[in-house]
Amino acid sequence: MNRNQIAQLNYYLGSSLSEAKNLKELDQTHCLMNSAIFDFDNQFIQSKINQLKIKSNDPWERTKLIFDFVRDNIVYDFAPEIIGLSSWYASVILKKGFGFCHQKAIVLTALLRAVEIPTCLVFQNVKDHILISTRFKDLLPGGLLPLHALVAVNISEKWVRLDATLDSNLCKKKGYLIPQIEFGKETLLSTHTLDGRQHFSIEKELGYFENYPEAFRALLLENIDDWNAWRKIVNKKRITM
């Protein structure tokens, strides 16, 4: 990465993170809103909500049903194909059925808002300790995964973080713990694998966002050639979290 690219990166990250809020600043009304990205008024999303037959009045029951659906039916892809602005629309991601952490968090947000669960995005810098010990360690120095995305929901006036990034099939294949909703508790990337190896650690919490930061999308689209080069490496070497 040259100086111009670093300057560009710092500019976009700085402008995006300035949108971050703390929990007390979040407006639950804004966290229920439809948008171009969280387009839950889209007919395809509404049809999917109907198919899920979400009838419970218990917000945790509704949350679990949607969490489980997104976790396993939007298959995790470390470097999916990005074709333009629409690659961030919840309805488009839902139709494709796969995505990286940002895309999965967008779908989860849209579906939860559709059933009246206040939901926002959360971004973190995360370290993947498994990657550090693999032959891919030079591709991700220090195992750092910057700008990892998940969501937070407000239930009974309490904000709780939920991370549906890793699907069950991937977890079973790799020997990871499958993320499971426990009512009233947070569901985050697991700290250890099934055999006890250290897995994920949160290096820094970057804040809460009522909307998807447009600068994140602009940054990736303006560096789409780099993304596609990375995508080729990921597909060839079968790299994943």
Report the pLDDT value the prediction gives residue 1, as an integer from 0 to 100.
45
Average pLDDT over residues 180-187: 97
Residues in contact with 99: Cβ distance below 8 Å, sequence separation at least 6, in sequence order: 74, 75, 76, 77, 80, 93, 106, 107
pLDDT band at 13 (very low <50, low <70, confident <90, very high): low
Buried b (16+ CB within 10 A) or exposed e, 221-236: eebeeebeeebeebee
Q: How far is CA 161 from the centre of its chain?
A: 11
Average pLDDT over residues 167-192: 97
Higher pLDDT, 215 or 209: 209
Report the pLDDT value the prediction gives residue 7, as an integer from 0 to 100.
56
Residue 94, domain extent: 3-237
pTM score, two decimals? Answer: 0.94
Q: Is the pLDDT of residue 137 over 80?
A: no
Pick the most confident of 1-5, 133-137, 144-148, 190-194: 190-194
CATH number at residue 191: 3.10.620.30
pLDDT band at 181 (very low <50, low <70, confident <90, very high): very high
Share of the chain above pLDDT 90, in %: 79
pLDDT band at 133 (very low <50, low <70, confident <90, very high): confident
Average pLDDT over residues 200-215: 94
Higher pLDDT, 51 or 134: 51
Share of the chain above pLDDT 70, in %: 94
pLDDT in tens, 112-124: 999 999 999 999 9
Q: Is the pLDDT of residue 182 over 90?
A: yes
Report the pLDDT value the prediction gives residue 238, as an integer from 0 to 100.
87
Report the pLDDT value the prediction gives residue 65, as an integer from 0 to 100.
97
Report yes or no: 182 and 45 within 8 Å, Cβ to Cβ.
Answer: no
Q: Are strands 75-76 and 98-99 parallel, antiparallel or unpaired?
A: parallel
Average pLDDT over residues 30-56: 96
Count of domains for the chain: 1
Buried b (16+ CB within 10 A) or exposed e, 138-171: eebeebebebbbbbbbbbeeebbbbbbbbbeebb
Q: Is the pLDDT of residue 100 over 90?
A: yes
